Chain A
């Protein structure tokens, strides 16, 4: 491609470069609008108030000179009620469990839908597709009542991690089942048939043959489900007790807690966003594919 461009006559180069230049300018402008707010947050997370107000775009200096570059993060730790680091741990525990349960239960259901023949296959699929159209707002009040009722029976249930994990698993699983079903349906059947003839049990076929073959889809679906769970605000906001709140909820309350400490607020965003961005940069292709394939969830 490079060489081809060089062979074009002089006039041609100008013509191509002119329209190309405008294209690149427009694209770069949009790229700046997406990057700039994050850069602003990331730089200012390491500054004190005076510096944030005085020189917003310069690199951090005061904290760097005094050797306390993580000052804002130390501030965040001091609030026991609203400790972002504990919130981060809570987020990981809940989203990790949600993800694991979804992948286990989801792949089991998908295995049946992809490989078994029974009367209700179509009906079950339609049931799953329709359930994806039910918005969170339509179920949040009754689910709160269900959680309260379970809490009346089992002590310690109310406000626990489970109150978020269970509804999230139920609400996000439909996507995983449908994606995994279509992936498993496309897998070659010979291996499974051979295993069946050799006397392998159905659970054995599932765990030793189908699951290992499904790993690429499990990764893609898993990343998506993790992100949705990690980014969810409404479910934890409504069901959890204060101690167990994840970062998304803590960050929504940061304005009232640190209203005068701008650096601390920026640091809070930094902690929330950084892990997700790292995950995104590592697994970009999977994320983009998974997100757009599951577009219905939005």
Chain B
């Protein structure tokens, strides 16, 4: 059946398209526009100042710090989330008992809000009563002051990884389950089993899913905000500042909307560049198999 009534096409589709245009596409353009202005304090009057905000990005030492931290987060996510998730998926796929239990338990952090997780890990790393100091006390060790300028960035990385490993685990698990059984059977006849089977058959067979997941991990790591905002708010002394938390700070705490928008543009550009590069690399790699 092919319906053609123009009237209903308009009535049914219009509200959705209108909302998406007004609250996603229009503001996206506006952000780019604001990034070339001295917009601040939500004042209705602002001037165009050319590339000044972008020059400031290069001289702002906190931007440097946030950029490095964002990249640390990105690399951590790529290596640990994808790596651990892949190992767990291969292992869970190999067992019969407890399959559903492990899938349920590994995935549930994904549904919890980032702010609750942020507070949870903030509490876990507290000196007096934190979970971590409780655990090391069991082993007779001295309490540690966990969140310091040197450690903060690595400590906020833990809950981010903790939350999302389960997500990629489920994606990989589904992909592995979809590998045709006869491929494994013929491999087993050739004497390829266990660890070798994983390396030479499972991973190449789900390569496409892994590449897609890498894209998702990268896009996701640029969006991390809640957990860091609640756990350290970018501190101490900007040690765990990310581009996202710094953007929020500039736009809504220091009320520099122009400069904040320039940081948004930086985040979008960074995302696009990484997206294009990984896509290129993935295409080149595909040729090898």
Contacts and interface: CB of A to CB of B under 8 A. Distances in A.
B223 A284 contact: no
Contact of A143 (B3, B4, B27, B112): B27
Interface string A22-60: 011011001101111110110000000100110011000
Interface string A62-84: 00000000000000000000000
B252 A238 contact: yes
The main secondary structure of chain A at its interface with chain B is helix
Contact of A27 (B6, B98, B170): B98
B36 interface: no
Interface string B228-247: 01100000000000001001
Contact of B123 (A105, A112, A265): A265
Given A138-B267, A231-B112, A298 B219 contact: yes
- The listed residue with most B CB atoms (<10 A of its CB), out of A38, A170, A203, A238, is A170
Given A116-B8, A174-B20, A202-B5, A268 B119 contact: yes
Contact of A252 (B92, B230, B251): B230
Contact of B129 (A49, A108, A206, A287): A49
A134 interface: yes
B22 to A, nearest CB: 7
A92 interface: no
Given A27-B91, A27-B95, A288-B170, A252 B229 contact: yes
29 contacts: A27-B88, A34-B108, A35-B105, A106-B16, A108-B15, A108-B16, A109-B17, A112-B9, A116-B8, A116-B9, A118-B4, A135-B223, A138-B28, A138-B267, A139-B27, A140-B27, A166-B19, A231-B112, A234-B225, A248-B116, A251-B115, A281-B104, A284-B104, A288-B103, A291-B111, A292-B170, A292-B174, A295-B167, A295-B216
Given A37-B121, A295-B171, 6 more contacts: A128-B20, A135-B271, A138-B31, A138-B268, A170-B20, A296-B216
Interface of A: 1, 19-20, 23-24, 26-27, 30-31, 33-38, 40-41, 49, 52-53, 56-57, 105-106, 108-109, 111-113, 115-118, 124, 127-128, 131, 133-146, 148, 166-167, 169-171, 173-174, 177, 189, 192-193, 196, 202-203, 206, 227, 230-231, 233-234, 238, 247-249, 251-252, 254-255, 262, 265-266, 268-269, 272-273, 276-277, 279-281, 284, 287-288, 291-292, 295-296, 298
